[in-house]
Amino acid sequence: MSVELASKVNRLNVTKDGGRMVSDYWENIFTARERGKRVVWYNGSAVNPIFQAAGLEWCHGEAFSARLAATHLEGPAQLAGAEYGYIAELCSYARTHLGCAVLTQRAAERAEAGPQEGFETGIVGMVDQEELASKLPTPDFFVNAYAGCSTGQQWDEITYRVFGKKVPIFNVSLPTLWGNKADSGYLRGEEWDRTSEYVAKQLYQLIEFIEVQTGEKFDMDKLRENMTYIKKASQLRREAMDLCAARPTPATFWDWISSIAQINFLPANQELVDYFANIKHEIQTRLDEGVPGIANERYRLYFDGMMNWNKLGWLAKKFADHDVAMIAGRYTHNAFWQEPHLIDTDDPILGMAQHYLLCPTNHGTKTLQHLMTRDVEKYGIDGVVFHSSRTCRAFTNPQHVLAETAQRDLGIQTMFFEGDVADASFYKDEVLDSRLEAMLEAIDVRRIKTGG
């Protein structure tokens, strides 16, 4: 049975503002129709600066699933998905969002049929349906730009089908960076150059598609402006992350998790830049004043895997309770406009295309080994925690090999724990406890042996 832990987590205060920004964003989306806005549903890469430049409102499927899970409201959507036929082993992001699509579509059909027409008598209660389904505005079109994971691309294709194949859809294809050639590597080689150009060309096609949908000429200046904000925000985010190489760390992985939504899909504007400037400022202040991200940092760990949104606060507390500062992770530190130097604000398309390719599930394991090694060395990491996310196999694919790399080549400890991105039923608390304790003991033993 789970026991409430006293928190040793010292969350960045600024992230509370970030939470408010995200809530405001969703509240705004929910009223898009009333405000006469066109709505695009999309999945995968952060193509939203393009939508913003086109005057659209954008609804990111994964983000909505993550939000439902983080606020413990995922149940009704998942039940609706199950009722429709999605098996529980399917990506829980996808089936949560598809459940929303089913509910949204039903709500739209009911609205069209008039008040007397029958409500569904399925297992999802009316209250829940209204609560969730009526909130997501139906899409005017879909855009899919999912790197790495085939499920991400197929998910939107199925959403398109759930909506009766009537809503236009555009696919951006993002090839996996396999990294097989002698010249291949992170941000280099013929494969990198070729695929970057290939995706950039598709983004121009996407802009043409959007022009057809909106009937308006696309505003490239607006996109340049958006990408200038994004580049600035991203630079600040990276600089703030770099400050966390300090011991004890002034902020943790959990703060970065709380700041994903903002960098990933909130509007590009001065508020976004200010948010990351404030984060950096708070971290710098903490450094100056010797304020740590958790009380009594004794272990510095790295988190590999997709976030477990249902258990976010719980995990943050649990690790801190064991004096673990979770410093960095594949998901937070190797995604989300993480290479701002690639963005040319006068001509942003190529740099955007490159970021879409740089998803942390879109590399061959060789590159992931390189990225993990780089982060472990940079942040002085004692061990890697692998979140074995049951239904996100894109993330679990390379984990065993990465674990072996960490142990064999880097000489650090590793552990796995079972959970999921948006389905709490896969999380096993006892297993996490015992494995974490064993790992920390092994770190202690190693320190004694090496006098560290």
Partner 1 sequence: MSDIDSALKVLADAVASPREYALAWKQRTGRKVVGAFPMNFPGEIIHAAGALSVVVQDSRAPITDGRSLLPEFHCGYTRSVADQAATGNFDYFDAFLCADHCIQLLGAVDTIRFVMPRTPVHFVQFISSMNDAWGQQQINETMQSFADELEQLLGVQITQEALAESIGLFNRNRQLLRRLYDLRRTGVNITAAQMQLMVQSSMVMDKREHNEILAPLVDLFADWTINPPQPVRLHLSGHLCHAPRAELLTAIEECGATVVDDDLFTGYRYISTDVVTDGDLIEALGRWYVDRNDNVPCPTRVQHNVDWDGYLMQSIDKSQATGVIVLMVKFCEPHMLYYPELRKTLEEHGIPLLLIETEHEGLPLESIRTRVETFVEQIRRRQSSVPVPA
Contacts with partner 1 by CB under 8 A lie at 84-87, 89-91, 94, 144, 148-151, 153-158, 160-161, 165, 169, 171, 173, 175-176, 178, 180, 198, 201-202, 205, 361, 364-366, 388, 390-391, 393-394, 396-401, 404
Q: Where are the alpha helices (DSSP H) in 258-322?
A: 260-265, 270-289, 312-321
**Closest among 245, 279, 250 to 262, alpha carbons compared:** 279
Which of 66, 77, 91, 412 touches ligand SF4 by CB under 6 A? 91
Closest CB 66 distance from ligand SF4, rounded Å: 9
Distance CA 4, CA 320 (A): 13
Which 293-312 residues touch ligand SF4, going by CB under 6 A? 306
Residue 357 binding ligand SF4, by CB under 6 A:
no
Buried-state track 170-189, b at ≥16 Cβ within 10 A, e below 16: bbbebebbebeeeebebeeb
Rounded to the nearest whole angstrom, what is the least distance from the CB of residue 405 to ligand SF4 in the complex?
Answer: 21
Indicate the length of the chain as a whole number: 452
d(CA 273, CA 276): 5
The nearest distance, CB 151 to ligand SF4, in angstroms, is 4
What kind and span of H or E run contains 41? strand 39-44
Distance of CA 35 to the CA centre of its chain: 28
Identify the bridge partners of residue 126 per DSSP, sorted by sequence position. none
How many CB atoms neighbour CB 130 within 10 A?
Answer: 13
Q: Is 94 among the residues that bind ligand SF4 (CB under 6 A)?
A: yes
| Longest Cα separation, the chain | 76
Choose which of 64, 93, 142, 356 interacts with ligand SF4 (CB under 6 A). Answer: 93
Of the two residues 238 and 393, which places its CB atom closer to ligand SF4 in the complex?
A: 393
Q: In whole angstroms, give the CA distance from residue 331 to residue 285.
A: 26
Q: Nearest Cα to 234, choosing from 348, 351, 337? A: 337
Region near ligand SF4 per CB under 6 A, out of 106-114, 144-152, 175-183, 430-438? 144-152
Rounded distance between C-alpha atoms, residue 103 and residue 27, angstroms: 18
Residue 250: strand, helix, or coil: coil
Q: Which is nearer to ligand SF4, 94 or 342 (CB)?
A: 94
Whose tokens are 């509007």? That residue is: 267
Looking at the Cβ atoms of 99 and 329, the one nearer to partner 1 is 99
| Paired tokens of 186 | 């992170």
Q: Does 316 bind ligand SF4 (CB under 6 A)?
A: no
What is the token pair recorded at 163?
């909506």
Tokens 């990276």, located at residue: 238
Could you give the string, one character per residue 147-166, with x where binding to ligand SF4 holds by CB under 6 A and - elsewhere?
--x-xx--x-----------
- The closest of 23, 130, 135 to 71, measured between CA atoms, is 23
Comparing CB distances to ligand SF4, the nearer of 91 and 406 is: 91
Q: How far is the CB of 396 from ligand SF4 (least distance, A)?
A: 9
Out of ligand SF4, partner 1, none, which partner does residue 298 contact, by CB within 5 to 8 A per kind?
Answer: none
Judged by beta carbon, residue 44 or residue 137, the one nearer ligand SF4 is 44
Select from partner 1, ligand SF4, none the partner in contact with residue 396, using the beta carbon and a kind-dependent cut-off of 5 to 8 Å. partner 1
**With binding defined as CB under 6 A, does residue 218 bind ligand SF4?**
no
Smallest separation, CB 252 to partner 1 (Å): 26
Is residue 361 close enough to count as binding ligand SF4 by CB under 6 A? yes
Query: CB under 5 to 8 A by kind: which of partner 1, ligand SF4, none does 202 bind?
Result: partner 1
State the binding string over 370-409 for ligand SF4 (x if CB under 6 A, else -): ----------------------xxx---------------
Angle at CA 265, nearest 5°, toward 263 and 268?
70
Q: Token pair of 80, please?
A: 């609706």
Task: Name the site residues for ligand SF4 (rule: CB under 6 A).
Answer: 91, 93-94, 149, 151-152, 155, 306, 361, 392-394, 421
